[in-house]
A and B are shown apart, each in its own frame.
Chain A
Amino acid sequence: MAEALAGLRRPLVAGEKRPGDVTADVARPMEGRPSGWWWGGLVLSLAALAVGAVSVTYQVATGIGTWGLNRTVGWAFDITNFVFWVGIGHAGTLISAVLFLLRQRWRTSVNRAAEAMTLFAVICAAIFPLIHMGRPWLAFWTVPYPNPRGPLWVNFRSPLLWDVFAISTYFIISAVFWYVGLVPDLATLRDRAAKGLRKKLLSFFSLGWDGRLATWNRYEMVYLLLAGLATPLVLSVHSIVSFDFSTSVIPGWHTTIFPPYFVAGAIFSGVAMVLTLMLVVRKTMRLEEYITQHHVDVMCKLIIATSSMVALAYGTEFFIALYSGNPYERFVFMNRAMGPLAWSYWIMVGCNVLVPQLFWSARLRRRHLVVFAATLLINVGMWFERFVIIVTSLHRDFLPSSWSSYVPTPIEVGTLVGTFGLFFTAFLLFCRFLPVIAMAEIKGVLSWGRPRQGGHE
């Protein structure tokens, strides 16, 4: 059997797995009983979700006067959370689409979970603007449909409307991409399942997939096309999110660096979140042979790369602010680094620029507790990045008599806690009921039973 091994430069999956082993290993957590860890996590997540549900109900019933906003800081916590969650989602698309186009085949171990994470993160993100509308039941007014009000159309020249298009497209395309990827795996599970509800559901959702080559041929073309569409899409989404700020005339927001800066930051925070989740998943679901040290290494390196881009952006925007000769721009940046909210600026720099430097060390990358802690800190840092950009650009405006500060109310914090609850509840349910590893994709990168030249003629 040894001669059948190799072919790829380095095996992506440890333990000389055969295709049948992959099915058995990935299906095991779904077919057995969940562990105590899973139940513990679910209870905790549901508790957080309940906090969020109460907060949201209260603020929708009372109005957004329950937030800590004031005349000067008219935009703070909810938009911070919105940008944060959209950013988290970006890594899923990066891993599923961009790395697919770049033929980074290690992605097969993590893409399914990362894509699921994208979906849940975008749902969490969408909650915030929805609440901010004040009357969320009228959210459909953002859709340009013929209406009895004129018809009065939406303002296509507003970045906030671009957001509506970008986020909804992003969600739908990510969901479709995820589902298309799932279909062959659902068929595999269907053919393993005993009769019953589970089998019926799997039969329904697997669309009658029978593994015909002609179907696979079309399927691969569609997958490639979706990857090709999702790649510019992911770049456009956070660019459009950054337009919310950069098309305004507020010093600290009105900069051309924002789109690439936001996209790099989004991928940075998202990869950190994927790594956080994957470290837990590989340990608790015993998938160490699929999500190997190699995967941890490459994701750490991705984090270093994107952290460097973010660091460059921090430096550039500061330098340009000082160099511009614009006193307002200069003031905003000096105020960020040395004003009353300087602590948030330095948390951001510490977590996003200094912490990732740990990952240069191969020895530290092998200490998963260190990696885990670092990824959590990175996400704290990225949350503060958005907070810094938003609040410190607003709280000391052009008129010193209206200077103010901003403190979130318990309701706002409760909403954020609730979105974390929603995110982890959804992720735990996903781990329990769907294959966390794309079986049909990982079978294509196993070393076993593969010609040495990797299948090329």
Chain B
Amino acid sequence: MSQRVLRAVFAREEDLLPAVRELRARRYEIADIHVPYAVHGLDRAAGLRAARVSWVGATFAFAAAFGIMAFQVWTSAVSWPLDVGGKPFASHPSFVPATFEMGVLLGGLGAVAALLVAARLYPGKRVELVHPRVTDDRFVVTLAETDAAFDAAATWALCERLGAVEVLEDLMAEERR
């Protein structure tokens, strides 16, 4: 199923932010927004909640830290206890560096993996740009034409009044979001 959408293209952050607020205030359904860089304050204007990928990172970090600490105790004190200069077999202070490093490593990798999975990014993925300049210098707000009451002409005019440099009609593949 595909859906008819209206894409309002903006050139300036200064126009984009108030436009998004205005469109939301007027109860338009913003299907998507595409921007060339992380626009400060846009996530709040668009009503996005904080991303939860950091929880994945934190979980990985703590799991890795506990895991490697247990592994160090097991290898040094249980599996093959070696007397090194009379130090205790399970000498926890000297296990701290590896514990910390593995926590950081897995925490970082876990968060990035979560990003790739959540955003469905993978090498070689085919991409359909909403606008040829969206990775360069154009901001695109996609409005879903939700029902019969959607007045395309009026919306078009509204977008132009809000500073859109270009408005296009398009079809958007219905995608799980």
Contact = CB atoms under 8 A, between A and B. Distances in A.
A158 B94 CA distance: 8
Interface of A is mostly: helix
B119 A155 contact: no
B76 A210 contact: no
A10 interface: no
Interface stretch (B1-9, B123-131, B150-158): B123-131
B22 interface: no
Best-buried of A153, A439, A440 by chain B (most CB within 10 Å):
A153
B174 interface: no
Interface string B71-114: 11001100110101001000100110110111011011101101
A173 B33 CA distance: 30
B38 A440 contact: yes
A152 B61 CA distance: 27
A106 B86 CA distance: 52
A368 to B, nearest CB: 30
A240 B99 CA distance: 13
Contacts of A213: 32-35, 42-43, 46, 48
Contact of A449 (B13, B123, B134): B13
Contacts of B120: 208
B36 A19 contact: yes
B108 A211 contact: no
Interface string A237-268: 00010010000000000000000000000000
B171 interface: no
B79 A209 contact: no
A455 B45 CA distance: 10
Best-buried of B34, B45, B118, B127 by chain A (most CB within 10 Å):
B127
Best-buried of A150, A158, A449 by chain B (most CB within 10 Å):
A449
B12 interface: yes
A218 B12 contact: no
Contact of A172 (B84, B105, B118, B134): B105
Interface in B8-42: 11-15, 17, 32-42
A219 B36 CA distance: 13
B137 A23 contact: yes
B112 A180 contact: yes
A63 B135 CA distance: 53
A153 B112 contact: no
B172 interface: no
Nearest to A192: B136
Contacts of B124: 203-204, 208
Contact of A191 (B14, B33, B135): B135
A243 B116 CA distance: 36
Given A169-B105, A226-B111, A456 B97 contact: no
B56 to A, nearest CB: 9
Interface of A: 4, 18-20, 23, 144, 150-159, 161-162, 165-166, 168-169, 172-173, 176-177, 180, 183-184, 187-188, 190-192, 203-222, 224-226, 229-230, 232-233, 236, 240, 243, 439-441, 443-444, 448-451, 454-457
10 smallest CB-CB distances across A and B, nearest first, come from: A208-B125, A449-B12, A19-B137, A153-B75, A162-B97, A221-B51, A207-B121, A20-B137, A213-B33, A218-B51
Given A191-B135, A229-B57, A451-B13, 7 more contacts: A151-B80, A206-B127, A213-B46, A216-B38, A236-B104, A450-B12, A455-B41
14 contacts: A19-B136, A19-B137, A155-B76, A165-B98, A205-B123, A207-B122, A208-B124, A209-B135, A214-B48, A218-B118, A222-B54, A222-B114, A225-B57, A229-B107
